[in-house]
Chains A and B, each alone.
Chain A
Amino acid sequence: SAVISQKPSRDICQRGTSLTIQCQVDSQVTMMFWYRQQPGQSLTLIATANQGSEATYESGFVIDKFPISRPNLTFSTLTVSNMSPEDSSIYLCSVWLVNTEAFFGQGTRLTVV
């Protein structure tokens, strides 16, 4: 199994500012994933973060808005830039252990005012 710690667990931010979310895993993993879960909605994949290369973004998400770092095999950050109220969501990081299952952090609940 994998234990994933996300920080912060929640934050209230002013529009126009940026927030960086940290994700720490207790084991080395090749791929880490960032999801967004809007209120009452399911999870939407933002990007896949691989160590040593640029993140791969899904349709509708761009690097300028959601820059991602992946400095090593146990850590990643997601920044939500120039925030607006529409960015209010839960942001979750996730990892796969090969051929088993996806593990998720507890999420970061972001409110933009």
Chain B
Amino acid sequence: TQLLEQSPQFLSIQEGENLTVYCNSSSVFSSLQWYRQEPGEGPVLLVTVVTGGEVKKLKRLTFQFGDARKDSSLHITAAQPGDTGLYLCAGVGGGSNYKLTFGKGTLLTVNP
């Protein structure tokens, strides 16, 4: 069974602070995805990282995939209240299954 450990589980910060969320596994994934979920909605994809060592930037969000494709991080610079939400990492198993293995999620609250 492939497992993803995500940390921290909860994070409450002030507007303007930086933060990093980690996603670690003992398994190798063909790719890893980060989703953001707001209350009453389904998760929405932020980014997919595929290549070991890959770094992707989405405005103030920086995503990194570990060299061994087992771990990933999400760094948010100068967080804003609009960044509040549940951040989920998900490993893609590959093949024709398209089955996602989700981490437990990080509930981020950015206070004004």
Tell me which residues from 75 to 109 in chain A have a Cβ below 8 Å from any Cβ of chain B. Answer: 92, 94, 96, 101-107, 109
Interface of A is mostly: strand
Tell me which residues from 62 to 112 in chain B have a Cβ below 8 Å from any Cβ of chain A. Answer: 88, 90, 97-100, 102-105, 107
How far, in whole Å, are A60 and B103 apart by their CA atoms in the complex?
18
B: contact size bracket: 20 to 34
Are B102 and A102 closer than 8 Å at their CB atoms? no
How far, in whole Å, are A43 and B99 apart by their CA atoms in the complex?
12
| A45-B100 contact given A101-B33, A101-B48, CB 8 Å threshold | yes
How far, in whole Å, are A60 and B104 apart by their CA atoms in the complex?
18
Taking beta carbons and an 8 Å cutoff, which residues of A are in contact with B?
Answer: 4, 9, 31, 33, 40-45, 48, 92, 94, 96, 101-107, 109
